[in-house]
Amino acid sequence: MTKRTDKTNAGVIPSDTDLEKVVLGSLMLESTLIHSWIQDLNPNLFFNSETMQTCLVVLELYRENTSIDIITVSQKAREMKKDNLENDISILDKKIKRFHRLIKGNK
């Protein structure tokens, strides 16, 4: 678990970057989840700047009524000049696929 300092009260807020990536990766693998999560999905829920930016990309795709998957997120990130996300999205895709294999019992 990664810790981040909250600038508002100088306290330490526990955060988990891998969990943030799992949430967004799940949306890319199962894009229908967005419909049940849209009311709660907010970039400010994420502590990692890359996952915040990825969330913004996902929300923009949703607003445009575009399917949400690894390809459309990568393309939209480039279009929105968030090129630094491209590598992060690739890593995210690998982690999510591994996570799903573990859940299914396939290593």
The pLDDT tens digits for 32-65 are 888 998 999 999 889 888 889 889 999 999 999 9
CA distance 83 to 34: 23
Predicted confidence band of residue 89 (pLDDT cuts 50, 70, 90): low
Predicted confidence band of residue 17 (pLDDT cuts 50, 70, 90): confident
Strand residues in the chain grouped as ranges (E): 2-5, 12-15
Run of H or E including 12: strand 12-15
* pLDDT at 95 (0 to 100): 66
Conformational region of residue 81, where left means phi above 0, alpha means psi within -120 to 50, and beta covers everything else: left
pLDDT at 66 over 70: yes
* pLDDT at 68 (0 to 100): 92
Whole-number mean pLDDT of the chain? 78
CA distance 24 to 52: 10
Q: What percent of the chain shows pLDDT beyond 90? A: 16
Specify the amino acid at residue 49.
S
